[in-house]
Structure 1
Amino acid sequence: MPAILETRALSAFYGDFQALFGIDMAVNSGEVIALIGSNGAGKSTFLKTLAGLLRTRPEQVLYKGEAIGGMPAASIVGKGIALVPEGRRLFASLSVEENLLLGGYCERPGHWNLQTVYELFPVLKERRRHQATALSGGQQQMVALGRALMSNPDLIMCDELSLGLAPVIVREIYAALPSIVADGMSAIVVEQDVQLARKVSSRFYCFQEGRVSLSGASADVSDEAITQAYFGVTS
């Protein structure tokens, strides 16, 4: 099966500072990939680059065979890639429903609309008129995830869904993931909890200092190998 997304020797910079060094990755249709690694390893930078928020050369990112590296973020959303950013980044002056509707501005056809998002997260329908940032952290994360789904992406990228949330809320949010990808959507999930990341994904990539230090099938690689790759230690 051809990959829906490929990166080839992907590099990224913040000014003169190089944050990513030659990242090679592939995501297949309907596949959930986990990105793990310590803070500052480059995971969020990688997602931002794919989303068009950081510049890179066109041929370093291929989406459905098309070189899209460095395209404007709005164009990338229109092609079917959506980002759920770290920290949620909701519009504080808008209601829950207004935040969700903004996600559908590109008018891509598909399964996701207000009704299906409310079916996935019923609490959002109850609070649709509330100011989005007045909700609990877990409910705000649901809004951020729903907003991304409203663009009807073929690839959704989730940056630290569990950050700062109670374990029971984390389980509720991740319980929705199988329904989200059931129709063949692909997902890249950045997650600090290594065991949770392995549980929800088929494959993983471990980042260390802007490079891939280890990759493999989530169920097959040993905890020891992941620990060594995660912290950059050798046996």
Structure 2
Amino acid sequence: MSQLLSTHGLKAWYGDFQALFGIDFEIRPQEIVAIIGANGAGKSTFLKAITGVLSADAESVRFKGQPIGGRRPHRVVADGIAMVPEGRRLFPSLSVEENLRMGAYTKRPGPWTLEKIYGLFPVLKEKRKAPGTALSGGQQQMVAIGRALMSNPELLICDEISLGLAPAVIKEIYVALAEIARNGLTAIVVEQDVYTAQRVSQRLYCFQEGRVSLRGNSSDLTHEQISHAYFGV
């Protein structure tokens, strides 16, 4: 199966500080791939380099066979990559429905509409006129996911979507993500909880100090392998 997105020797800097040291990564259509690693391992930096927030060599990031490294973020979204950012980052002055509609600004064709988002997360329809930031943390996360889906992406990137949420809410969010994947979407999931990362993904990458320290099929990797790759001990 061909790769939907891949990186090749991807490097990234914050000024003079190098944060990524040659990341090789790939994800195939309709896969869920998880990325784990300690704080400061380079996970969020990697996502920023993919989505154009950080500059990167054009050939170091390829999407559907085309080089997109260094492309501006709005063009990356128009190409078909959407991100659910850490911390949700809803527009506080907008209602739930207005926040969702903001995701559709690129007018990419595809299956995701307001009604389909409301079908996935029925509570959002009930609260559609409420301010987005007046919702619970889990409901705000649903809005953030729905807003990303409204751009009709081919690749959905989720950065720490379970952070700060109750276990029951995390389970609900990941059930929805599995349903999204069954509808043909591909997803990269950055996740702090290793058990959750293994459970929801087909393949897993571990980052350590800006490098890939482990990769493999999620169900095949042992606790010992992951611990060594995660902590370097």
TM over 0.5: yes
Q: CA deviation at 1:179?
A: 1.2
1:72 is matched with which residue?
72
Question: Aligned partners of 2:165, 2:178: CA distance in 1, in Å?
Answer: 20
State how far apart, in whole Å, the 2-side matches of 1:183 and 1:93 are: 32
How many residues are treated as equivalent by the alignment?
A: 233
Q: Distance in 2 between matches of 1:52 and 1:45?
A: 11
Match of 1:117 in 2: 117
In the other structure, the counterpart of 2:193 is 193
TM-fit CA distance, 1:231: 0.4
Cα distance in 2, alignment partners of residues 72 and 30 from structure 1 = 25
| Structure 1: gaps spanning 5 or more residues | none
Taking the TM superposition and a 5 Å limit, the aligned residue runs for 1:1-235 are 1-233=1-233
The 2-side partners of 1:66 and 1:183 are apart by 24
Q: CA deviation at 1:26?
A: 0.6
d(CA) in 1 for partners of 2:166, 2:199: 18
Q: CA RMSD in A?
A: 0.6
In 1, distance between residues paired with 2:75 and 2:43?
A: 22
For 1:42, give the aligned amino acid. G
Deviation string 1:90-144 (CA, Å, 9 cap, x unpaired) is 1111111111000000011111010000000000010011110111100000000
Could you list the runs of 5+ residues in structure 2 that have no partner in the other structure?
none
What is the DSSP-based 3-state SS (H/G/I as helix, E as strand, rest coil) of the residue aligned with 1:3?
A: coil
Report the identity percentage: 62
